[in-house]
């Protein structure tokens, strides 16, 4: 009887550990160019984290900001045709990190610079 209780407790602890890791999975962050100066933005697999998406200019001034509460999928389309030519940044910030993707707007369209994507890990507070 004690063996069964011990096995049950171990199985319960393992399943709780696995579920905690599943909750903390990193979201999938997708950005792509749809038209001349329109960006499609999608975040998948967010089940436990709230996050913020921002569009900033080169000086770090926030031009747009939106918060999303825990959701399985978040999709938006952003038309950047009114912005002057230059470098802008799309930021996705959650509890653990900030992902930054440069976007270059030119007269003939925009380029999403995924090669220079940056991920900044936040320090844990505890």
Spell out the domain ranges in the chain: 2-121
Nearest residue to 92 via CA among 66, 61, 125: 66
Predicted confidence at residue 73, as pLDDT, reads 73
Q: Which residues of the chain have pLDDT under 70?
A: 1-29, 45-49, 69-72, 124-126
Cα-Cα end-to-end distance for the chain:
40
| Res 35: pLDDT | 75
79 contacts 16 by C-beta, under 8 angstroms: no
CA atoms within 13 A on the CB side of 16: 6
* pLDDT in the model for residue 12: 45
- What angle (nearest 5°) sits at the alpha carbon of residue 75, between those of residues 55 and 123? 55
Residue 122, pLDDT score = 85
- CATH fold of 2-121, please? Immunoglobulin-like (2.60.40)
């Amino acid at each position: 009887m004690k063996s069964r209780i011990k096995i049950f407790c171990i199985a319960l602890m393992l399943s709780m550990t696995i579920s905690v890791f599943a909750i903390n999975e990193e979201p999938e962050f997708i950005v792509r160019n749809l038209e001349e100066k329109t960006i499609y933005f999608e975040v998948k697999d967010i089940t436990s984290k709230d996050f913020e998406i921002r569009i900033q200019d080169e000086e770090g001034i926030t031009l747009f900001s939106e918060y999303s509460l825990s959701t399985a999928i978040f999709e938006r389309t952003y038309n950047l045709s009114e912005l002057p030519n230059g470098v802008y940044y799309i930021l996705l910030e959650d509890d653990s990190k900030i992902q930054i993707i440069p976007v270059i707007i030119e007269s003939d369209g925009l380029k999403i610079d995924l090669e220079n994507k940056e991920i900044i890990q936040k320090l844990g507070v505890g």
